[in-house]
Amino acid sequence: MITAIGKTKQRALGPSAEKISADKRFKILETHMKRFQFKQDALIEVLHKAQELFGYLDDELLFYIAQNLKLPPGHVYGVTTFYHFFTLKPKGAHICVVCMGTACYVKGAGAILSALEDTLKIKSGDTTPDGQVSLLTARCIGACGVAPAVVYDGAVAPRQTPQDAINRVKGWVEHGA
Amino acid sequence: MVLEDLLRIKEQELAARKKFTFRVCLAAGCVSSNSEAVKAALEKAVKDAGLDTDVEVRGVGCLKLCCGGPLVAVDPLNVVYQKVTPADAPGLVAALNGAQIGVAKVDLSHPFFAKQRNIVLENSGVVDPERIESYIAHDGYRALREVLREMSPADVIAAVTKSGLRGRGGAGYPTGLKWATVAKTKSSRKFVICNADEGDPGAFMDRSVLESDPHRVIEGMIIAAYAVGAEQGYIYVRAEYPLAIKRLQNAIRQARQFGLLGSGIFESPFTFNIEIRIGAGAFVCGEETALIASIEGRRGMPRPRPPYPAEYGLFGHPTLINNVETFANIPPIIRNGPDWFASIGTEKSKGTKVFALAGQVKHTGLIEVPMGITLREIVEEMGGGAPDGKRVKAVQTGGPSGGCVPASEMDTPVDYESLARLGSIMGSGGMIVMDETTRMVDVAAFFIEFCMDESCGKCAPCRAGTLQMHNLLAKIRTGNATAADLRTLEELCEVVKNTSLCGLGQTAPNPILSTLRFFRNEYIALLKSDATDKPANGQDRPDRV
């Protein structure tokens, strides 16, 4: 009886059947899980794929993964929130990652970050209200030889100054593309 | 695949070699400086000059001097150009016939290059990391063939033990001993894991090795698997290294095509497969039991040891975990013999170590030096000292688990024991130079904040201790702390160090302890003068408000 209630609840929280059949990405994700034979230890690989496809991991998606891998939803949520790489919130159209590794730190990454925070009027980890820019920090991207480094939409830029960074994100905000 | 096939591929590769080769660095540092466009421009310039048959443009791994990127090396002229732009390409092609051009050359006789001894990096910047044939042409997979066809697993372990190789991930556990433990544990299944979760901020050695010479790591893993009797391997690599992941996937696919992974490798009964597992950004996953938990799809939290992974590891089976650089050392040890390897380095630390030299130093980049070289040689001679005429104040080794070595101790030889005596560690190889403008209390706070964020929260000393240390440091930095607070901080450091569950917590206080040891006056200068509790040197309230 209790399990039956649990099951109905889970189904209600996961995506509806219509949504799954309408959205091709669920099919791709399912194929990916099949590749790992729906093995529970592939959870992190599956989460990577899901984030790659959907951009972020919302509750509905996490329930869908939990159901398919036959894992308790709490376990999936626990793993997702443990790792920095997974995000539960949608990201902006552009992503700016300031490397805060040791080499970048001693070369002035802190000044770049605060300049960006002032320009965008958001804190690191947040997205501008218009959804244009997400400002993130990284532990170390391994580009220490060209520190301080900033990653703009996936491309690493070497030897940045606060002004370089401001110019880059201003370009995004003003042109809106 | 048999020996003849290897030799045939090598011959074909050597025969196909053209008169000139441009080697363009395509490791992450140079790619960020636009080296991919330089490569495309060079290819076009060669074509335009009608020199297709004489000149090859090859994308290679790290050419080491990251601060000069993008770098282009020219064979056989033995020239390396730095800060090359796509517009320089036609000039570079013209220079093959002796034309003079204005592109700056790298001084290859500089100590930065002259003092290097390349074993792990012997192919870095030479082979094309995206083609297995290129690796085979440089005697790749020869060691594997020798191991599978002519050595018993016990012979392999004996050779590794004799070489004196120690784990390059930081702790320096003897590799041969670890292999022997896994080999003698009886189990139906065993695993080999390559730890490529290079989490230390300021370290990029493993990334460079994987991007420059991925097959070397794969070969080392297969040899290890044969020695310990494993059939399945995993490479756990950080998600922050997309290029390394791409090159590894490509390398594994090629090795499979060539019959170097899978069943019946080199027509022996030995079977081995490798899968990649991508990390998701948790520093603690560099700890071996946490890494295992992460591969099993769980939260990356460590567990108490023993039992060690060598006896009870992945999915409960005996598991060998070694670092990227450790595996990369294996093929040359087999090829050249353990005595050759043992002749390099110091009595207790054999071979070479790759360091990522960065921070406030003139020449940043990747260096591989024999163990026992002094820090002064590395920082002052190879690195050229601090830029803009400033003085070097300290060198940070070992990342958040390491410590700061002051300029006065620069004559310390680089080996596991000497660095430990100074309260630092060898670590995985990050080496950050700090000049006189760096405030050491800020550096300690930077690392403690890192450890606080990265603590997995399982054990209380680490979870609560790092937070309290961070708060105390914040109090000191804002000038609100008294000498009593400093004493509390020191006591707390000892507690966290002695009672934490895993390496993260046990070493988290190191940056504070080592800066307190060598730069205590910087802490004292920030203390609030207190009538009842005056600092030892009687210094008054600092100028900083």
User: Distance between CA B318 and CA B312 in Å, rounded?
Assistant: 5
Which CATH code fits B139-342? 3.40.50.11540
- The residues that bridge with B262 in the sheet, in sequence order, are B272
Distances (CA, A) of B25 to A66, B34, B62, B392: 43, 10, 6, 29
Tell me which chain A residues have a C-beta less than 8 angstroms from the C-beta of B364: 103, 144-147
Point out the residue among A43, A102, A139 whose CB comes nearest to the CB of B430: A102
- Within an 8 Å CB–CB cutoff, is residue A164 touching chain B? no
User: Distance between CA B203 and CA B429 in Å, rounded?
Assistant: 6
- How is domain B3-114 classified at the CATH fold level? Glutaredoxin (3.40.30)
Q: Is the dihedral of CA B96, B100, B103, B105 positive or negative?
A: positive
Burial of A13 (C-beta count, 10 Å sphere; 0-12/13-18/19+): middle
- How is domain B352-435 classified at the CATH fold level? Ubiquitin-like (UB roll) (3.10.20)
What angle in degrees, to the nearest 10, is found between the helix axes of B3-15 and B142-150? 170
Q: Measure CA B76 to chain center.
A: 29
User: Distance between CA B232 and CA B243 in Å, rounded?
Assistant: 24
Using the predicted structure, report yes or no on whether residue A63 has a pLDDT greater than 80: yes
Angle at B429 between CA B427 and CA B432, to 5 degrees: 105
pTM: 0.92
pLDDT band at A176 (very low <50, low <70, confident <90, very high): low
Would you tell me which residues 331-360 of chain B have a C-beta closer than 8 angstroms to some C-beta of chain A?
356-360
Pairing of strands A155-157, B20-25: unpaired
Distances (CA, A) of A125 to A57, A133, A136: 16, 11, 5
Q: Which of A76, A102, A160 to probe by mutation at the B interface, max B CB count within 10 Å?
A: A102
Q: Measure CA B318 to chain center.
A: 25
Q: Is the dihedral of CA A43, A48, A54, A58 positive or negative?
A: positive
Mean pLDDT throughout B509-532?
Answer: 88
Domains within chain A, CATH numbers bracketed: 2-82 (no CATH), 94-175 (3.40.30.10)
Give the CA dihedral A74, A80, A82, A84, nearest 10 degrees: -160
**Mind listing the pLDDT tens digit for each residue in B144-173?**
999 999 999 999 999 999 999 999 987 889
Give the CA dihedral B324, B328, B398, B338, nearest 10 degrees: 140
**Mind listing the pLDDT tens digit for each residue in B401-445?**
899 999 999 999 999 999 999 988 888 889 999 999 999 999 999
Point out the residue among A44, A138, A143 whose CB comes nearest to the CB of B294: A44
Write out A80-146 in H/E/C secondary structure. HHHCCCCCCCCCCCEEEEEECCHHHHHCCHHHHHHHHHHHHCCCCCCECCCCCEEEEEECCCCCHHH
Residue A40 near residue A69 (C-beta atoms within 8 A): yes
- Within an 8 Å CB–CB cutoff, is residue A83 touching chain B? yes
The residues spanned by each domain of chain B are 3-114, 139-342, 352-435, 440-525
Q: Which of B197, B238, B299, B424 to probe by mutation at the A interface, max A CB count within 10 Å?
A: B299
Please report the pLDDT score of residue A13 as a whole number. Answer: 80
* Prior bond of B70 cis (ω within 30°): yes
Q: Does domain B440-525 have CATH number 2.60.40.10?
A: no
- Please tell me the least confidently modeled range out of A7-11, A46-50, B351-355, B497-501: A7-11
pLDDT band at B530 (very low <50, low <70, confident <90, very high): low
Residue B190 near residue B229 (C-beta atoms within 8 A): yes
Give B455-503 as a DSSP string: --SSSHHHHHHHHHHHHHHHHHHTT---HHHHHHHHHHHHHHHHH-SSH
Q: Which long-range contacts (CB under 8 A, 24 or more apart) does B445-448 make?
A: B445/B470, B445/B473, B445/B474, B445/B477, B446/A102, B446/A105, B447/A102, B447/B399, B447/B400, B447/B508, B447/B511, B447/B512, B448/B473, B448/B508, B448/B511, B448/B512
Pairing of strands A150-152, A94-99: antiparallel
Tell me which chain A residues have a C-beta less than 8 angstroms from the C-beta of B106: none
Helices (H) and strands (E) in chain B, counts: 23, 13
**How many residues would you count in chain B?**
545
| Nearest alpha carbon to residue B99 among B36, B49, B37 | B49
Tell me which chain B residues have a C-beta less than 8 angstroms from the C-beta of A79: 297-299
Distance from A136 to chain B by nearest Cα, in Å? 13
Mean pLDDT throughout A29-35?
Answer: 96
A84–B282 CB contact, under 8 Å: yes
Please report the pLDDT score of residue A139 as a whole number. Answer: 86
| Nearest alpha carbon to residue B153 among B142, B163, B161 | B161
- Within an 8 Å CB–CB cutoff, is residue A95 touching chain B? no
Please report the pLDDT score of residue B152 as a whole number. Answer: 96
Mean pLDDT over all residues of chain B?
93
**Residue B401 CB neighbour total at 10 angstroms:** 26
Tokens of residue B8, six digits? 């045939």
Mean pLDDT throughout B242-266?
Answer: 95
**Mind listing the pLDDT tens digit for each residue in A127-165?**
999 989 999 998 888 888 899 999 999 899 999 999 999
Q: Which distant-in-sequence residues (6+ apart) come within 8 Å of A81 by Cβ? A: A88
Tokens of residue A59, six digits? 């509750």
**Mind listing the pLDDT tens digit for each residue in B451-482?**
999 999 999 999 999 999 999 999 999 999 99
User: Distance between CA B260 and CA B460 in Å, rounded?
Assistant: 46
| Nearest alpha carbon to residue A149 among A95, A118, A86, A105 | A105
Residue B294 near residue B236 (C-beta atoms within 8 A): yes
Please report the pLDDT score of residue A12 as a whole number. Answer: 61
Residue B144 near residue B227 (C-beta atoms within 8 A): no
User: A-B interface: how many C-beta pairs under 8 angstroms?
Assistant: 139
Using the predicted structure, report yes or no on whether residue A119 has a pLDDT greater than 80: yes
3-class secondary structure, B119: coil
Mean pLDDT throughout B75-96?
Answer: 93
**Mind listing the pLDDT tens digit for each residue in B186-225?**
999 999 999 999 888 888 999 999 999 999 999 999 999 9
- The residues that bridge with B464 in the sheet, in sequence order, are none
